[in-house]
Amino acid sequence: LLLAGEGLGFWAQMAALLGVYALINAVTASLAIALKWVVLGRTRPGRYPLWGVYYFRWWFAKRLEPLVHIKWLQGSPMIRRYLRLMGARVGGDVIIADIDAGAADLVTIGRGSTIGSKTKIANVEVIGNEMVIGEVFIGADVYIGTSCTIGHDVRIEHHAELADLTAIPEGTVIGEAEKWDGSPGVKMGMVDVAALPDFAEATPRRRALFDVFYATALALIPPVSLLPIFPAFYIFDQIDDVISEFLEVSYLWYLPVLAWPTALFMIFATVMIIAATRWLVLPKVRTGTYSIFSGFYMRKWVVALATEVTLETLTSLYATVYMRAWYRIMGATIGKGAEISTNLAGRYDLTEIGAKNFIADEVVFGDEDVRRGWMHLEPVKTEDRVFVGNDAVVPPGGIIPEGALIGIKSKPPANELMAPGDTWFGSPAIKLPTRQRVDIGATWTYEPSLLKKIWRGVFEALHTSFPSMLFITFAILAIDHFFYPSIQNREWGMLALSFVAASVVIPFLQTFVVVGVKWLTMGVYEPIMKPMWSWWAMRTEAVAVLYWGLGGKVLLEHLQGTPFLPWFLRLLGSKFGKGVCMHTTDITEFDCVRVGDYCTINALAALQTHLYEDRVMKVGRVHLGRGVFVGANATVLYDTHIGDYARLRPLTVVMKGENIPANSEWEGAP
């Protein structure tokens, strides 16, 4: 609004807006880092009372961290610099795909180490009525795979190696060049250090040029996510001009009618921008080994960054019929009727997903392997009717045979060990001799009618654009009624006050809309089985999209670790006792969750009340007794009861139907 009042032309306004947005990103990131040191200083190891002053200071610093967008930095030298600014001790040539540390300033990472995506350093955990904080030491030339979880007071010596989905419990010491695998992690052998390739090298000049490039890209690419706003609001104005010819009322009376097509076009334009970026910057991805100082690595990183930035707009497309169309545009080979709900991050040419597959949320699918500065890419393939569960890891080179099932938080064994129709679960995976199978009829699962496809396409187009529509509606109301009059009258104090007030009120309104939609469309969740193409399953997926993409993003994620998150989850139907501390929002069928007094549920943990095996949604209850501890990255499946004061260590999976006795402690997947 301020820029428009300066009499700038369209292109000048666009350039100015993108520049302002880049500046805002830089300032907010700097502010988050500075406030961490002002509020908390260097984190002190020890035990502190839950809900005490030190807990609050730590919690406040953690809530500021998302302002930095650490996922934008992944795989670049910038992530090392950010962690150093946060107080971590990070050596040169460290490659970090993605990391979430409870206390980054208590982490040491030696020179030349590699840390894979979705790594959780759980060196801060809430256990009972205490917050426990410890240090983590990772030596030089250490390799940590994908989706690993490392507890507090862990020491990993030089040249050691952790396989994908490995959990290292607190207090563990891993010796030099040892190989560990599994949940819980155990020693599997030794690394042949002499057989490893030499470190990738580059001249100081090349390193400096790469640093400049990464810094420039991080300043310029995030504003690209704003570009769809310009054509979208052109459409907004055109529709308004047509309607205003027939209606002699303010456009505020029919604002959602304008905002919904605008939101739909924003999503469409965002998809086109990502696709254009992919084909312009990285027209071909081939199997091979590439230096992290190569132009290819840099271009692949740019595509991954552009995807990560624009996924802020596109997250609601996950698990919809539109996801496979998007990935086909991006160059992946996607079979007919495949259901996909995960980010492929630039590996499109190397991805082949068979017909009728189901690739669930947060699956790591053929992620590149990096060690000693060399990135190794291999194709990954699933044959027809494969199911890959939430948070599973399919390694590069993996081939999953027809009809196979890979369970949640699981990784498949070697290709030659798998046969069609197998079921594999765990880390390391074990072959399950049998599992529950349900056949409700192909027209409701694998072979829907044309009418069902059309209806689902229309319904998903509406509900995926609903969060953007609602935000546009609320934002324009705030602008017209509060911001714009303040700007016209140059009442800058009132502008600041109304801006802060709107930033508080709008998230609450959006969250209450989610609550209302849940009760109007689903009522009370009960244990049930429904096929994927049923109207019930479509409605509950819509509620999940709104919960994550609307209420979760704007409010609930910020309430993690406070007494207030259970209040809002109760509004959705969950049952929570007093004194519950939750550092996760991973709940779906809310009424099926019961959490007793004084439970502590740590970061990235999930109370998962459904599975989608055989394209049938199976819903059951999860009951946590009094004083239960759920560790970081742990998952409790449905039809389970966790007894009073039981403890589930990090990266533990409680399988469906299991009962955990009171006062016992468990770890592992399974």
What's the whole-number mean pLDDT along residues 123-134?
A: 97
Of 586, 597, 592, nearest to 617 by C-alpha is: 592
**What's the pLDDT at 397?**
94
pLDDT tens per residue across span 292-345:
999 999 999 999 888 888 777 666 777 788 888 889 999 999 999 999 988 877
What's the whole-number mean pLDDT along residues 533-548?
A: 93
Place of tokens 């990560």: 308
* Residue of higher predicted confidence among 442 and 607: 607
Confidence of residue 12 (pLDDT cuts 50, 70, 90): confident
DSSP 3-state of 447: coil
Q: Is the pLDDT of residue 1 over 90?
A: no
DSSP 3-state of 12: helix
Specify whether the CB–CB gap between 357 and 338 falls below 8 A: yes
What is the distance in angstroms between the CA of the first residue and the CA of the last residue of the chain? 56
Confidence of residue 226 (pLDDT cuts 50, 70, 90): confident
Confidence of residue 6 (pLDDT cuts 50, 70, 90): low
- Cβ within 8 Å of residue 458, ≥6 positions away: none
**What's the pLDDT at 5?**
62
Q: Is the pLDDT of residue 242 over 90?
A: no
Residue 391, Cβ neighbours under 10 Å: how many?
Answer: 26
Confidence of residue 274 (pLDDT cuts 50, 70, 90): confident
pLDDT tens per residue across span 19-50:
888 899 999 999 999 999 999 999 999 999 99
**What's the pLDDT at 385?**
94
What's the mean pLDDT when you consider all of the chain? 92
Cα distance between residue 353 and residue 650, in whole Å? 31
Q: Is the pLDDT of residue 55 over 90?
A: yes
Strand-strand pairing, 351-353 and 380-382: parallel
**What's the pLDDT at 317?**
77
**What's the pLDDT at 18?**
85
**What's the pLDDT at 248?**
78
pLDDT tens per residue across span 415-468:
999 999 999 999 999 999 887 777 787 888 889 999 999 999 999 999 888 988
How far apart, in Å, are the Cα atoms of 333 and each of 165, 304, 320, 615? 27, 18, 17, 21
**What's the pLDDT at 431?**
95
**What's the pLDDT at 313?**
67
Tell me the residue ranges of DSSP E strands in 346-386: 351-353, 358-359, 364-365, 369-371, 374-377, 380-382
* Residue of higher predicted confidence among 550 and 642: 642
How far apart, in Å, are the Cα atoms of 21 and each of 73, 194, 473, 499, 502? 17, 48, 21, 17, 19
Of 106, 102, 122, 90, nearest to 45 by C-alpha is: 106
Residue 99, Cβ neighbours under 10 Å: how many?
Answer: 22
Place of tokens 């420039």: 216
**What's the pLDDT at 98?**
87
Q: Is the pLDDT of residue 4 over 70?
A: no
Of 403, 394, 444, nearest to 422 by C-alpha is: 403
**What's the pLDDT at 560?**
96
Q: Is the pLDDT of residue 15 over 70?
A: yes
Specify whether the CB–CB gap between 397 and 379 falls below 8 A: yes
What's the whole-number mean pLDDT along residues 555-570?
A: 96
Cα distance between residue 586 and residue 159, in whole Å? 35
Q: List phi, psi (to 5°) of 269.
A: -65, -35
pLDDT tens per residue across span 351-378:
999 999 999 988 999 999 999 999 999 9
pLDDT tens per residue across span 177-215:
999 999 999 999 999 999 999 999 999 999 999 999 999
